[in-house]
Chains A and B, each alone.
Chain A
Amino acid sequence: MASGFDIVIVGAGIVGAACAAELAREGMRVAVVDRDIIGGGATAAGMGHIVVMDDSEAQFALTRYSRRLWRDLHSGLPPQAEYETPGTIWVAADESEMQEVRRKHEYYASRGVAAEILDSKMLAEAEPNLRPGLAGGLLVPDDAVVYPPVVARFLLERERGVSVIAGSAVRAITNDGVALEDGTRISAAKIVNAAGDASPNLTAGVRVAPRKGHLVITDRYPGFVRHQLVELGYLKSAHTHSAESVAFNVQPRRTGQILIGSSRQYGVTNADVDPAIVSAMLSRALQYMPGIGTLSAIRCWTGFRASTPDKLPLIGPAPGTDHVYLATGHEGLGITTSLATAKLLASQITGREPEIAVTPYLPARVMDGEKHA
């Protein structure tokens, strides 16, 4: 039995790592357990886009707060974290989407987030490889991109007081810690379930469903794309409960490679790359950037987002327990909101005042108060 820990965190992805670093900074002794390698789940599979989103006030508050925390952190990150600030351009295809651009601009500007409306000409200058005839877009210059697996490892190694046990699956959360598949136990007064799409396996009543996504990465084409480009229809795709959807979403990486997304599917649990989904996703990208067609794609892969019914993560105590906390359900915003999640979780554990209200993210809002076995 491993002991001497104040907290054990299940999941060494970006969320678990951020929580571990934050709690260790508060003076706690933290154990982090993962069934695989650090940052090997959705953390490795996603785009690493750090973005302010305005789906709801609660989402906006969380993403704005967290993006600021990334800005504060970035100069301390190693170069392999590839932190860049290309900004996001939300692309409007037509006049009705331009109305949405104006609404978003007003929303962001009135809340102190820099944003600039681009008309058709300005958009073409900003991104020459977009097809002509698009209506314009909203530039959010302070949005960033990062390479998350390196950051997860950095966060876990940075603080003394964090021990990582990788390659060991947790069988169950117990009254006084966790029991691993291999029979060993780690004892701690508090447990954090940061297991992403696997979190329902460990805590009853967690309504987190896996939402499969595909990505394609190209060879190096420096300068082909300058900003993260997202079609406004992305929001429809992210919000829909329909079985599958694709949306145009491309990202320039520091290497000059271009990451092309995005897709969402409910109810699919095998991780195989589906050529039909890839085809639909890339066809959508071709509609916005025809020139992307002749670029060399070197790999496709998939990952599973942890999605919740109301698109907001679960950050706080698991109802019906007094020692289990949840930090999961981040859907497509896990990288962005990982740092804020850590702060909000730590504030609840230490009793300190959080910087933003935690109420919208409390698990109790979508869970019954089920007692633990």
Chain B
Amino acid sequence: MSDSANTVVVIGGGPAGIAAAACVAENGASTVLIDDNPRLGGQIWRSGGKIPQAKEAGHWLNRFMRSGAKLQCGTRIVDRLGTKSLLAESDRGIQRVDYSQLILATGARERLLPFPGWTIPNVVAAGGLQALVKGGAPIAGKRVAIAGSGPLLLAVATYLRLQGAVIVLIAEQAPWSRLVRFSAKLKSSPHKLWQAILMGVHLRGVRFKSSCWPIAARGESVLEQVEFQSKQGRFSVACDYLACGFGLIPNLELPRLIGCEVHNGFVAVDEWQQTSIDDVYCAGEPTGIGGIDSALCAGQIAGFATVGRKEKARGLFPARTRGKKFEETLAFTFALRPELRQLCQPETVVCRCEDVTYERLQPMTSWREAKLQTRCGMGACQGRTCGAVAEFLWHWQLASARPPVFPARVESLAGKTLTLEK
């Protein structure tokens, strides 16, 4: 990277990263945004599909494009090389990424929880099905049940329905009383309220149940039906897809590798979004699950902070405070109920990469012991899926992050560029 002495590097191309990079570049500083996906937008602003971008997404993407910020897609940070130096890998090769300041906007992923049959093909994550469809997977005419927890379920249902899917059920595990209180709070944010009304319009006629969660997925080789538990008892729904996700968990692997302190499961940041490491900032979901508005706000604050525009950053503090309150509201409303810990049978797979079942993990007393004795978490995902499960089921603390952050080619870690093949 040229001129690294003054480059602000932003990792993550979702709302937080886009806002941060735009603010940095608009203030004349050199910045590059690095993202793993083929296109900018992260998860929530993922492009693709027949529906045009939400206006807000379009606005920020345009702003980013006009700002002069550089973009590198299809590139993932795999290791840190030194104090202000990272190792990045793409399909084309590796590069050393030096920075004067770093903004981590690595976003979040969905929490998947195991239940009998959750590994059958066509049981997918909620946002995961949306991402797959945006990537070109066919969904028109398919029957989709959506389950789990969080506002994401409604967003996914809306999107899929507009793509021609038949939404047979939306099952939210949170109780109706909390959802009502949540909706009432939305009145204080006209923007969110408007989004909610739009969703209500798009989802008219769709069966929605609260205090409802999946207890078994069934099918010969692909999903055929899902059994649910609700206050009225158990019932089954025939469907082609189950899109199921139980909230969001922050992507902390890169922040941890860099050495950022983590408090209560999120990267600790000061009022300028700076982490415990000098010149390393963090914005968006890794600092708290708050959705688009929080991410945009924190991203801008971090961006302004890196270019010394503290007064502009300060101007966003009230919005951030509101965002923090929204995070708390989200966490309270969609808190996961204890029944979700009781779904597994002894033979239910918990670690998908290594096929480690519930009964083999149950006697373990720590994440590390589970890893060493059963190989849970030692597969390709390195605990991204099963670690979150283990935290929820048994309250195990996960061990520290080791490189590479994502699987990397051996030659990349050897410091060699790509071998051209075929």
User: Do A and B contact each other directly (Cβ–Cβ < 8 Å)?
Assistant: yes
Interchain CB contact under 8 A, B79 and A275: yes
Interchain CB contact under 8 A, B421 and A283: no
C-alpha gap A231/B202 in the complex (Å): 65
Interchain CB contact under 8 A, B80 and A275: yes
Q: Verify if A134 is at the interface (C-beta below 8 Å from B).
A: no
Interchain CB contact under 8 A, A216 and B382: no
Q: Verify if B374 is at the interface (C-beta below 8 Å from A).
A: yes
Q: Verify if B372 is at the interface (C-beta below 8 Å from A).
A: yes
Residues of B contacting A301 in the complex (Cβ-Cβ under 8 angstroms): 402
Minimum CB–CB distance for B49 against chain A, Å? 30
Q: Verify if A202 is at the interface (C-beta below 8 Å from B).
A: no
Residues of A contacting B421 in the complex (Cβ-Cβ under 8 angstroms): 294
Q: How many of chain A's residues touch chain B, expressed as a range?
A: 20 to 34
Tell which of B366, B372, B379, B414 touches A283, judged by Cβ atoms closer than 8 Å. Answer: B414
Q: Verify if B322 is at the interface (C-beta below 8 Å from A).
A: no
Q: Verify if B34 is at the interface (C-beta below 8 Å from A).
A: no
Q: Verify if B413 is at the interface (C-beta below 8 Å from A).
A: yes
Among the 9-residue stretches B125-133, B187-195, B309-317, B403-411, the one with 4 or more Cβ atoms under 8 Å from chain A is B403-411
Residues of B382-422 at the interface with A, using a CB-CB cut-off of 8 Å, are: 382, 402-404, 407-411, 413-416, 419, 421
Q: Which of A149, A286, A297, A301 has the most CB of B within 10 A?
A: A297
Residues of B contacting A44 in the complex (Cβ-Cβ under 8 angstroms): 372
Apart from A37-B369, A150-B373, A297-B407, 9 more pairs, CB < 8 Å? A40-B368, A275-B87, A278-B79, A293-B410, A293-B419, A294-B410, A294-B411, A296-B407, A298-B404
Q: Which of B369, B408, B419 has the most CB of A within 10 A?
A: B369
0/1 per residue, B114-149, Cβ < 8 Å to A?
A: 000000000000000000000000000000000000
Minimum CB–CB distance for A335 against chain B, Å? 14
Q: A286-B414, A294-B421, A300-B402 are in contact. Are A37 and B368 (CB under 8 A)?
A: yes
Interchain CB contact under 8 A, A293 and B404: no
Q: Verify if A153 is at the interface (C-beta below 8 Å from B).
A: yes
Minimum CB–CB distance for A39 against chain B, Å? 6
Interchain CB contact under 8 A, A285 and B372: no
C-alpha gap A219/B409 in the complex (Å): 10
Q: Verify if B81 is at the interface (C-beta below 8 Å from A).
A: yes
C-alpha gap A293/B368 in the complex (Å): 29
Residues of A contacting B410 in the complex (Cβ-Cβ under 8 angstroms): 216, 218, 260, 282, 285-286, 292-297
Interchain CB contact under 8 A, A298 and B414: no
Minimum CB–CB distance for B364 against chain A, Å? 9
Interchain CB contact under 8 A, B403 and A273: yes
Minimum CB–CB distance for B386 against chain A, Å? 14
Interchain CB contact under 8 A, B368 and A153: no
C-alpha gap A296/B411 in the complex (Å): 9
Residues of B contacting A40 in the complex (Cβ-Cβ under 8 angstroms): 368-369, 372
Minimum CB–CB distance for A263 against chain B, Å? 13
Interchain CB contact under 8 A, A298 and B407: yes
C-alpha gap A3/B94 in the complex (Å): 59
Residues of B contacting A110 in the complex (Cβ-Cβ under 8 angstroms): none
Residues of A contacting B415 in the complex (Cβ-Cβ under 8 angstroms): 279, 283
Q: Verify if B380 is at the interface (C-beta below 8 Å from A).
A: yes
Residues of B contacting A297 in the complex (Cβ-Cβ under 8 angstroms): 404, 407-410, 413
Binding site for B on A (CB under 8 A): 36-40, 44, 80, 149-150, 153, 216, 218-219, 260, 273, 275, 278-279, 282-283, 285-286, 290, 292-301
Q: Considering only CB atoms, which chain A residue lies closest to B86 in the complex? A: A275
C-alpha gap A218/B404 in the complex (Å): 11
Interchain CB contact under 8 A, B407 and A37: no
Q: A293-B416, A294-B419, A299-B382 are in contact. Are A286 and B411 (CB under 8 A)?
A: yes
C-alpha gap A153/B360 in the complex (Å): 14
Interchain CB contact under 8 A, A298 and B382: yes
Q: Can you list 23 A-B pairs, Cβ within 8 angstroms, ordered by A? A: A37-B369, A39-B372, A80-B374, A219-B407, A273-B79, A273-B402, A275-B81, A275-B87, A278-B414, A279-B413, A279-B414, A279-B415, A282-B410, A283-B415, A283-B416, A285-B414, A290-B419, A294-B411, A296-B380, A296-B410, A297-B407, A297-B413, A300-B404
Residues of B contacting A219 in the complex (Cβ-Cβ under 8 angstroms): 380, 407
C-alpha gap A301/B413 in the complex (Å): 13
C-alpha gap A282/B407 in the complex (Å): 15
Tell which of A36, A149, A260, A282 touches B373, judged by Cβ atoms closer than 8 Å. Answer: A149
Minimum CB–CB distance for A15 against chain B, Å? 16
Residues of A contacting B414 in the complex (Cβ-Cβ under 8 angstroms): 278-279, 282-283, 285-286, 293
C-alpha gap A38/B375 in the complex (Å): 15
Residues of A contacting B402 in the complex (Cβ-Cβ under 8 angstroms): 273, 299-301
Minimum CB–CB distance for B387 against chain A, Å? 13
Minimum CB–CB distance for B402 against chain A, Å? 5
Residues of B contacting A38 in the complex (Cβ-Cβ under 8 angstroms): 369
Q: Considering only CB atoms, which chain B residue lies closest to A293 in the complex? A: B411
Minimum CB–CB distance for B9 against chain A, Å? 17
Interchain CB contact under 8 A, B404 and A299: yes
Q: Which of A37, A216, A283 has the most CB of B within 10 A?
A: A37
Residues of B contacting A80 in the complex (Cβ-Cβ under 8 angstroms): 373-375
Minimum CB–CB distance for B361 against chain A, Å? 13
Residues of A contacting B408 in the complex (Cβ-Cβ under 8 angstroms): 296-297
| Top 8 A-B residue pairs of the complex, sorted by shortest distance between their CB atoms | A293-B411, A282-B414, A149-B372, A296-B407, A279-B415, A37-B369, A283-B414, A298-B407
Residues of A contacting B407 in the complex (Cβ-Cβ under 8 angstroms): 219, 296-298
C-alpha gap A286/B417 in the complex (Å): 12
C-alpha gap A282/B403 in the complex (Å): 14
Q: Considering only CB atoms, which chain B residue lies closest to A219 in the complex? A: B380
Minimum CB–CB distance for B346 against chain A, Å? 17
Residues of B346-373 at the interface with A, using a CB-CB cut-off of 8 Å, are: 365-366, 368-369, 372-373
C-alpha gap A297/B87 in the complex (Å): 14
Q: A219-B380, A298-B404 are in contact. Are A282 and B413 (CB under 8 A)?
A: yes
C-alpha gap A154/B87 in the complex (Å): 40
Residues of B contacting A273 in the complex (Cβ-Cβ under 8 angstroms): 79, 402-403
Q: Considering only CB atoms, which chain B residue lies closest to A284 in the complex? A: B414
Residues of B contacting A294 in the complex (Cβ-Cβ under 8 angstroms): 409-411, 419, 421
Minimum CB–CB distance for A129 against chain B, Å? 12
